[in-house]
Chains A and B, each alone.
Chain A
Amino acid sequence: MEISPKEVEYLAQLCRLELTPEELKLFAPQIKEILSYVEILKSAPTHNTPPTTHVLSLANVYREDQIRPSLDTEKALANAPAREGPFFKVPKVIDAS
């Protein structure tokens, strides 16, 4: 699997992560090396093997739909980098023009 700095840049865009040109150049060969190590999984005999997404044999857990104490607005907003009234404030999302 060939991984170029350009591909790392594309992945970085997908996960909303800005990388410097130095990081792109550093990560590309490292990711390539890790992925070639992962190649040995291809030899694993998995034709009839079901996937394991969860190790416990827990069935769906149901509970009564009751109101319980939860974080109040002030506590939830206490760590906000910016707020306005009872809201988190962010830069403009939709261009009005």
Chain B
Amino acid sequence: MTVFELQQMYRQGKTGPSEVVRELVKKVEVWEPAIHSLAWFDPEWLTRQAAALEKGTGPKGPLWGVPVVVKDNICVEGVPVTCASRILKGFRPPYNATVIERLQSAGALLAGMANMDEFAFGSSCEHSCYGPTRNPWDLSRVPGGSSGGSAASVAASIAPLALGSDTGGSIRQPASFCGVVGLKPTYGRVSRYGLIAFASSLDQIGPLARTVEDAALLSQVIFGFDQRDSTSGDLPVPDYLQQIKTGVKGLKVGLPKECFGKGLDAGVKTELEKAFEQCRALGIELREISLPRTDYAIPTYYVLATAEASSNLARFDGVQYGYRFPNASNLMELYAKTRGEGFGPEVKRRIILGTFVLSSGYYDAYYGHALKVRTLIKEDFDRAFEQVDCILTPTAPTPAFRLGEKLQDPLTMYLSDIFTISINLAGLPALSVPCGFTPEGLPVGLQWIGRPFQEEVLFRGAYAYQQAAGWHTKRPPEPKGASS
């Protein structure tokens, strides 16, 4: 069920929050043994929230009674939040992230914490201390990452909405792999207060949903200035739902020639070409453009993101929260052993890499140089947006890959983010919308990239496409052996 369908049932008195929670618990029982999308789930906690909503007498917020799954790196007061890492075992945040405060004032039901790659380092949701999440469309495949649990839970209809975070594609790539909608908002659009930081110049919280209009509704609730995040943009948030149906006639859209060459899966390419035909039929003007610095995006990202991560993750040292190595004889041993035992292999690898690019003698050649290349990548987009209103690319070069397929080869895993990473470097908004299935039955995603703070153009374009194509109505069949 979508948010709009659920809200209609509420208005007609056909269901209430407690009944919605009972249905949700049933969905979890059916799907979770197969996909394992949640890191933490407590039916009693949900039941209490539903009861509180039913007793409430005040005005009903825009997400009243709507379940929202939350990625395990966003602080919710009093419940376990771990970034899927052993090092945060037992941590219960003493405060709520700004996005959580906003969800609660909007009347949302917090459904549970979603599994993820540890500290959001990964593209497959396999690097989790809880074990991997699986793709609802094909249980032998990954859901993408790092917000793999968020995307899988929405695809399996456990909840109609989820929050993810996106540093290099972590909302959009799993949305593409799981056949749902996912938006990385403009950098500064959503407060990062209470988001456990990975790379602070790139991180952004965003929505995952079954439909574009549901994603727009969740965006409306979480977007906006927050003085507790010093990188928050103080700009007005337009009424997205009012504009979403105003059509796309004459919209100028660029297709970067660099994104349709070698390395693109044939099944993905076929679906994209059909999507472009449908866009033309809607009155969208498509034209070829060029983003000549595309090849620099991944190496730039892996210098800057690991540098920032190695610094951000210094706070996990066994002193203030989480896991502590029990028998350290001095402080240095406490730090090194706590971190050695608490972090998984991908986290260690990235901390080492980040430490290297920031270390004396290499700082200018790697970190300093990558900051300059970041400017070049951003300039590519500045030039493109002089000619077009938005840009279309594949969200990922392939459909969902198999579990274990890329686990031993970190570089190959990094390459699966080739179309999403440059968007974070340039700070732009981008939305992935389902655009068909490969011959093996795996979802494909179409990425809409916009100018800074112009998410409304993405919603409008993707909504028009979604209505014409109809892929949002397809759902994966329930797993075999399910009880209901």
Interface residues of A (CB under 8 A from B): 3, 8, 11-20, 23, 26-27, 30-31, 33-35, 37-42, 44-46, 49-56, 58, 61, 63, 71, 75-76, 78-82, 88, 90-93
Q: B320 to chain A: which residues have CB within 8 Å?
A: 79-80, 88
Known: A34-B353, A41-B296. A92 touches B359 (CB 8 A): no
The 7 closest A-B pairs by CB, nearest first: A55-B427, A18-B340, A51-B371, A79-B321, A81-B324, A46-B372, A18-B336
Q: How far is the CA of A27 from the CA of B366 in the complex (A)?
A: 19
CB contacts (< 8 Å) of B348 on chain A: these are 17, 19, 23, 27
Interface: B266 (CB within 8 A): no
Tell me the complex Cα distance, A27–B344, Å.
13
CB of B160 within 8 Å of the partner chain: no
Given A15-B351, A17-B340, A38-B302, do A52 and B371 touch, yes or no (CB 8 Å)? yes
Q: Are A71 and B231 in contact (CB under 8 A)?
A: no
Residues of A within 8 A of B341 (CB): 18
A-B contact pairs, 30 of them (CB 8 A): A11-B359, A15-B314, A16-B339, A19-B340, A20-B340, A31-B349, A31-B353, A34-B410, A34-B411, A34-B414, A37-B298, A38-B299, A41-B296, A41-B299, A41-B370, A44-B369, A45-B376, A46-B369, A46-B376, A50-B372, A52-B374, A53-B201, A55-B378, A58-B233, A75-B95, A79-B94, A80-B320, A81-B321, A88-B320, A91-B334
Closest to B324 in A: A81
The total of Cβ contacts below 8 Å across the A-B interface reads 166
Name the interface residues of B51-86: CB closer than 8 Å to any CB of A. Answer: none
Given the known A-B contacts A71-B95, A92-B331, are A82 and B324 also in contact in the complex, defined by CB atoms under 8 Å? yes
Known: A16-B339, A52-B378, A91-B330. A81 touches B318 (CB 8 A): yes
Evaluate contact between A27 and B227: CB separation under 8 angstroms.
no
Give the distance in Å from the alpha carbon of A75 to the alpha carbon of B94 in the complex.
6
Contact A34 B336 (CB under 8 A): no
Main secondary structure, interface of A, reads: loop
Residues of B within 8 Å of A, CB-based: how many?
Answer: 70
Name the contact of A55 in the complex, choosing from B187, B227, B337 (C-beta under 8 A). B187
- Docked Cα-Cα span, A57 to B351, in Å, equals 29
> What residues of chain A lie closer than 8 Å to B371, measured between beta carbons?
51-53
A78 neighbours in B (Cβ, 8 Å): 92, 94
**A50 with B331: CB separation less than 8 A:** no
| Contact A56 B427, beta carbon cutoff 8 Å | yes
For B298, the chain A residues whose CB sits under 8 A away are 37
A31-B349, A55-B426 are known; give 20 further A-B pairs, CB within 8 A: A15-B355, A16-B317, A16-B335, A17-B352, A18-B337, A34-B410, A35-B353, A38-B302, A38-B366, A40-B296, A41-B303, A52-B372, A55-B187, A56-B427, A80-B320, A81-B318, A88-B319, A91-B333, A92-B331, A93-B331
Q: Are B321 and A80 in contact (CB under 8 A)?
A: yes
* Neighbouring B residues of A18 by C-beta, 8 Å: 336-337, 339-341
| B352:A8 contact, CB within 8 angstroms | yes
Whether the pair A55, B201 counts as a contact (CB closer than 8 A) is yes
